[in-house]
Homo-oligomer: A and B are copies of this chain.
């Protein structure tokens, strides 16, 4: 049977254990080594010992291989928001602290490398912005599911996301050493002070 036979490829794809994880790891390695622009989907598939067809079965495009962690992050956030009795803004801040502990802690070097790859490409920056929008929608929906109005849910979520973004930027900065969860708590306090200050 020829390797070009479609059935052959389908069966190969089906037999690969953790094809997704291997493709993500290969993409990350290649983006670091060669740069995002210089890496093709064929390169990624080859490094993972798979084929392009398998890649496109699992990812919409080359960018997506760098963003699939977003779904897990969203899940953890939504679950944390649903489980707490805190006020809306506190609930979102607590959810991001949960994410900081469960997903980001001990991964600072990987996160820094990933941010450097994203910073290198306007296309990746656009995708990151869209993923942020999807995260806001998911968290806001989780707050509404607790009976909150749309405005309250949106304001609490956006404020929490702002806190997370500023804390995250501090955390990945070259000279940082504080844990992300502490930075989130600190920045939340700063946001409270800034929004409540009157002239």
Which A positions have Cβ atoms within 8 angstroms of B?
85-90, 125-126, 129-130, 133, 151-152, 154-156, 158-159, 162-163, 165-166, 170, 187, 190-192, 194-199
Contact = CB atoms under 8 A, between A and B. Distances in A.
A19 B197 CA distance: 46
Give the one of A133, A195, A197 with max B CB within 10 A.
Answer: A195
Given A129-B133, A133-B129, A165-B158, A198 B87 contact: yes
A196 B194 contact: no
Contact of A159 (B133, B151, B191): B191
Contacts of A163: 155
Contacts of A90: 197-199
A114 to B, nearest CB: 19
Given A88-B194, A192-B196, 19 more contacts: A87-B198, A87-B199, A90-B197, A90-B198, A90-B199, A125-B130, A126-B126, A129-B130, A151-B166, A151-B187, A152-B194, A155-B162, A155-B163, A155-B191, A155-B194, A158-B158, A162-B162, A195-B196, A196-B196
